[in-house]
Chains A and B, each alone.
Chain A
Amino acid sequence: MPGWSWQLDGWIVCAGVLCAVAASLLGNFLVLRRMSMLGDAITHAVLPGLAVAFFISESRNSLPMFLGAVLVGVLTALFTEWIRRFGRVDEGASMGVVFTSLFALGLVMIVQAADHVDLDASCVLFGAIEYTPLDTFQVAGLEIPRAVAVLGSVAILNTVFVIVFFKELKFSSFDPALATTTGFHAGLMHYLLMVLVAITSVAAFESVGNILVVAMFIVPPAAAYLLTDRLERMVLLSVILASASAVLGHIAAIEIPGWFGFRSTTTAGMMAVVSGIVLFLCAALGPRHGIATRYIRRRLLARRILADDIVALLFRWEENAGSPNLSAADIGRLLLCRKWTLGVAFRRLVRSGELELDGDRFALTEIGRKRAQNLVRSHRLWESYLQDSAGVDVDRVHVPAEMLEHFTDSQLREQLGKETEAAHTDPHGRPIPEEVPEQS
């Protein structure tokens, strides 16, 4: 890759990955607790904490600043909760009130000292992650960027927290009331989580800029949430997705502008964008909840049901009169189905050997008849069962049976046969055909 240097890009990616991991670990629980916007609120609200710490310590020491910021971050969560509870204000609104107010307060305070601080507007909002390798210090003979060290410690802290308190976090995220009644301190877990969110926000603030912290808090866990139903897997997946977004984001920031003849763009911004793309892909293609996946699954089911309906219709037609077989147009009229969809279904059935074309009319083959016979058996067994055992009126048994027949296997048919005491006719007086063994 042109212009890639491990000395620089290696550390940048490292900082990005550490930040992504630290944030997404906690983000899982924020997403589950419907507090996703808290990261955003905290990164804006820490301003007065920084100002007060600066005014009190009268120094440029970073430890008091850090503590001040974390303190106000926790207060943000606390105030939001209080206003929500005591003022009965909707959660989002109370968060909006708190963080904008704190931000404004901090701004007023900090403007008083602003004349003396050199400002570079672009380095903050957009994240200073590109400058990570420039600010280093020595650890055990190694020269490590400060941001990497800070974010690394936060990532380790968060990992330990999540592993040690996994059970408590899980319990109190899904059912805080039950957790409290069984002796977990759900409130304590809530505030521990808030403290760590504040620490992570403040630590990540300077390395990737506030918007990216918010992105890493929310987007990878949201993507993981769409992929799995188990919390363990969700946490693991979110960490993997977050790291991947960080790495790919940096590569994209270097590469993509080059295609159009520009120099590299902001890494932090591209990391957020890549995580957004990952979320989009998960939302579309997730194995169980993906939009496209669900659509395809539904189409497949619709296709199977249509094929079922066609063979069952032909079976009933044969059974009724033994009259000449039906043409495509007749079937379309009887099944209220569009020509094109029907054509696809016919072709599929002919290919699988269940239908054969006799002139312009369709007839069942032996294989097709077996399938149809079992279907009609299911249908009529259900009708008998619904009338005998569920007390459904004769006029009303057809519609549910029509739905259930598609999901009834031989085992269920056997059970239905027992329940209806091997009835020979259905409530409409039609014979219930014998079971035919499924072709192997």
Chain B
Amino acid sequence: MSRSAWVGLVVLVLASSVADLGWAHPRTLDRSRQVHSDRSIADRSLELPTWDQIRQVLLLGDYNVRVVILGTTLLGCAAGMVGSFTLLRKRALMGDALAHSTLPGIVLAYSVVTLAGGNGKTMPVLLAGATLSGLLGVGVILAITRWTRLKEDTALGAVLSVFFGAGVALLSISTQFKEGNAAGLESFIYGKTASMGMADTQMIAGAAAFCIVTCLLLFKEFKLLCFDDGFAGSRGFPVVRLDMSLMGLVIVVTNVGLQAVGLILIIAMLIIPAASARFWTESLGRMFLISGGIGAAGGLLGAVVSALFSKLPSGAMIVLVCTGMFLISMIFGSARGLVVRIRNRRLLNRTVNRQHLLRAMYELWEPSATHAGPSATAARSESVSVEALLKKRSWSRIRLLREIRRSQRDEMLDAVDGRLRLTKRGLVEAARLTRQHRLWELYLIHHAEVAPARVDQGADTIEHVLEPQIVAELESLLDREQAAVPASPHALVSEDTLTGTGEF
């Protein structure tokens, strides 16, 4: 393959990345060219910042750095807050489609104003074009999902690519105008984080304040919209208008974000903080605040890191900081994080195993106890072999032995020459569990008309989650308010099968 093949691929991507994220702030680029022009192409070492630089950045000594950090922090906060609603409304990728669909509007607004003799490259003109075109894009997406049988993802992708294609085609024409100069028009949507000026920051601050205030004012309405729009409609909330205002907020964030920090970054900032916040809480109010906080922290840290290392582009660093926080949240999140979920599952498994073991012990001991007399619960139980337990249900030896050890530690069981016996405490607990199990079985037989041979399985799964109130209800329903354990309504794994193996 030829050398041009390589250029075709990498340079292409490079160029798109420059355009997409706007790292190529001329000042940085020129400086690094001068400094590193003698370095090999594969030399990727980072230059560590000097103490002076670190102090300068951390104390916000440099005016430029101060402005950039402030801007990205505010933007991150606003995007995180708006993003938490769009995420819950399952519209996370709407920002992506929206950001792409602003291009034709920008170019058209520029063209119209330029051809009319004005200066097309002013902020209000371009912003107006971007907003109109974004609104049109959202409208088309909503129309497609509503009136055709295409799904939302297809509508998003179609609008994104067709609008962007139209924008590209228009852009190519607009560069041919004799009047005006279209060069750099696309940088409006590809951003210029590092060279953000005070004017940009002021605009971001204004937009962020607007978004945050709107979110707070419409918090209840948006909450309803996200969780149950049908219910909201039936209560008389103007669902369509609320939906439109939420999309309007996304457009505001996207627009200020686009020209400040670029296409991919603004998509990331709308999605990642909200997705991270979701791992920490089940309450929308808290998620809203956490998401804003993560967005702000991402903007702040990313900008600081990029200010410290001149070779790290700020837009990309902000995204990566957010991604780091996402990974941390996904693993350690206190509400839905992996660690918490795995721990909960483990605890549940242990409880289930313990309860199965105790009931199995009780049922093996039960026949001999009935011979001994009614005061059996008070007496110590007969010993039971591990082999007998193993046959009682389909559990592996390892699982059984592990649970036996654990129960011994909790003084539920004790072992006498390889045979097991319930302790007094264990017996009480085992009797309670067996009673619950059988009450449920009786309930199924008498009130749900399930055949006695089939009740065991149903009761087996539900016995672990029976709450005391439910047990009390079962007792009164079945007229069994005395504490005795009722006899099993079906045949247990019989002693014949056990003695047949020669263990007894």
Q: Which residues of A contact B (CB under 8 A)?
A: 31, 34-37, 39-40, 44, 46-47, 50, 54-55, 58, 60-63, 65-66, 69, 83, 86-90, 92-97, 100-101, 103-126, 128, 135, 137, 146, 202, 205-206, 209-212, 214-215, 217-219, 222, 225-226, 253, 257, 260, 262-263, 265-266, 268-273, 275-276, 279, 283, 289, 291
Contact = CB atoms under 8 A, between A and B. Distances in A.
Given A107-B17, A119-B18, A273-B165, A39 B157 contact: yes
Nearest to B187: A121
Interface in B264-315: 264-265, 267-268, 270-272, 274-275, 278-279, 311-313, 315
A271 B41 CA distance: 37
A16 to B, nearest CB: 12
A263 to B, nearest CB: 6
4 closest Cβ contacts across the A-B interface? Answer: A272-B165, A276-B162, A269-B169, A215-B161
Nearest to A44: B264
Contacts of B147: 283, 291
A118 B13 CA distance: 12
A385 B11 CA distance: 76
Nearest to A47: B13
27 contacts: A55-B44, A89-B278, A96-B268, A96-B275, A100-B265, A100-B323, A104-B265, A104-B319, A106-B17, A108-B317, A111-B313, A111-B316, A113-B44, A115-B29, A122-B15, A123-B12, A124-B11, A124-B13, A125-B16, A125-B20, A205-B12, A205-B13, A219-B162, A265-B169, A269-B170, A283-B148, A291-B148
Contacts of A257: 173, 176
Contact of A60 (B6, B278, B313, B319): B6
A125 B162 CA distance: 14
B164 interface: yes
Contacts of B364: none
A212 B164 CA distance: 9
A170 to B, nearest CB: 18
Contact of B14 (A34, A110, A146, A269): A110
B158 A92 contact: no
Contacts of B336: 87-88
Query: Which of A46, A104, A291 has the most chain B CB atoms inside 10 A of its CB?
Result: A104
Interface in B8-26: 8-21, 23
A101 B317 CA distance: 10
A89 B6 contact: no
B42 A104 contact: no
A322 to B, nearest CB: 49
B149 interface: yes
A263 B23 contact: no
B76 interface: no
B272 A97 contact: yes
Contacts of B2: 62, 135, 137, 146
B320 A62 contact: no
A429 B290 CA distance: 72
A90 B166 CA distance: 30
A116 B6 contact: no
A118 B60 CA distance: 34
Contact of A66 (B3, B7, B9, B44): B9
B444 to A, nearest CB: 29
Contact of B6 (A65, A90, A211): A65
Contact of A116 (B21, B41, B153): B41
Contacts of A105: 316, 320, 323
A112 B11 CA distance: 14
Nearest to A93: B92
Contacts of B311: 111-112
A60 B4 CA distance: 9
Interface residues of B, number: 89
B420 interface: no
A253 B336 CA distance: 51
Nearest to A49: B13
Contact of B153 (A37, A89, A114, A271): A37
Contacts of A66: 9
B151 interface: yes
Contacts of B170: 265, 269
B96 A40 contact: yes
A29 to B, nearest CB: 12
Contacts of B90: 90, 92
A439 B96 CA distance: 61
B168 A268 contact: yes
Given A111-B313, A214-B160, A272-B161, A266 B168 contact: yes
A271 B5 CA distance: 23
A257 B41 CA distance: 42
B134 to A, nearest CB: 17
B153 A47 contact: no
B33 interface: yes
Contacts of A137: 2
A128 B148 contact: no
B36 interface: yes
Contacts of B20: 44, 103, 107, 125
Contacts of A219: 157-158, 161-162
Contacts of B43: 112
A214 B249 CA distance: 26
A440 to B, nearest CB: 40
Given A47-B17, A92-B90, A215-B165, A65 B319 contact: no
Contacts of B268: 96-97, 100-101, 104
B158 A222 contact: yes
B151 A265 contact: no
B330 A83 contact: yes
Nearest to B10: A50
Nearest to B279: A87
A362 B109 CA distance: 59
Given A104-B319, A108-B313, A276-B166, A50 B92 contact: no
B168 A125 contact: yes
A119 B15 contact: yes
A281 to B, nearest CB: 12
Contact of B9 (A62, A93, A95, A107): A62
Contacts of B92: 90, 92-93, 96
B172 interface: yes
Contacts of A273: 162, 165-166, 169
B162 A265 contact: no
B1 A62 contact: yes
Contacts of B1: 61-63
A222 B154 contact: yes
A90 B107 CA distance: 34
Interface string B421-460: 0000000000000000000000000000000000000000
Given A65-B10, A112-B44, A36 B165 contact: no
A226 B42 contact: no
A100 B319 contact: yes
A222 B153 CA distance: 11
Nearest to A86: B338
Contacts of B3: 60
Given A35-B153, A269-B167, A128 B44 contact: no
A241 to B, nearest CB: 13
B97 to A, nearest CB: 9
Contacts of A218: 154, 157-158, 161
Nearest to A260: B173
Contact of A31 (B15, B154, B265, B317): B154
Contacts of A271: 165
B15 A96 contact: no
A190 B267 CA distance: 26
Interface string B246-265: 00000000000000000011
A265 B275 contact: no
Nearest to A121: B15
Contacts of A206: 8-9, 12
A181 to B, nearest CB: 22
Contact of B96 (A37, A55, A101, A289): A37
Contacts of A225: 149-150, 154
